[in-house]
Amino acid sequence: MLGSDVPALERYLLEQLPDARGPLRVEQFPGGASNLTYLLRLGDLELSATGARDGPVFVGIGALISHDDVVDDHCFIAPGAVILGNVRVGPYCLLGANSTIRDGLTVAGDCVIGAGVTIRRDTGPAEVYIESHGQPVAKSSDQLRNWLTWRR
């Protein structure tokens, strides 16, 4: 599934993770033929990626995705992020390290949830959340637009 996208993915990850070093190595986990899962190694960094429909979902080691959650395509879930039960995460979202999405919420597409932020209510599309209070501080920023264009 990742085949020809590996060079583009490596360039994107190296741009977004300045301390990471290549080359990107991709291994498919055994089983899961209907929902392929991959281990991505970029230097010392390890991520898992799944691709059910249109594109991959990257899940950092130690992140928790709970029961009955739906994470849409092209999302990045950083290490230590926690998604509690019955959560829907829209496409092209980035959940920062140690962020938490509370039970039963929807994170609309194109959102960025900063490191350590706890989301306690549904988000609007293309909102950026930072600080510990989980309040939106910007919408549709240039930086967010740049992140969203890595595959489009």
Q: What is the pLDDT of residues 25-34, one digit of tens each?
A: 888 776 655 4
- The model's pLDDT over 11-46, given as tens digits with 9 standing for 90+, comes to 878 887 778 888 998 887 766 554 567 788 888 888
Residue from 123, 138, 135, 115 nearest 60 by CA: 115
Secondary structure (3-state) at 59: strand
Q: Name 50's bridge partners.
A: 37, 57
- Tell me the Cα Rg of the chain: 15
Residue 143 pLDDT: 57
| Distance (Å, whole) CA 52 – CA 146 | 24
| Distance (Å, whole) CA 72 – CA 84 | 15
Asked whether the predicted pLDDT for residue 3 surpasses 70, the reply is: no
69-76 — which CB contacts under 8 Å span 24+ positions? 72/109, 74/151
Q: Which CATH number fits domain 3-148: 3.60.20.10, 2.40.110.10, 2.160.10.10, 3.40.10.10?
A: 2.160.10.10
Q: Record the tokens describing residue 30, joined without a space.
A: 């055994």
Residue 139 pLDDT: 54
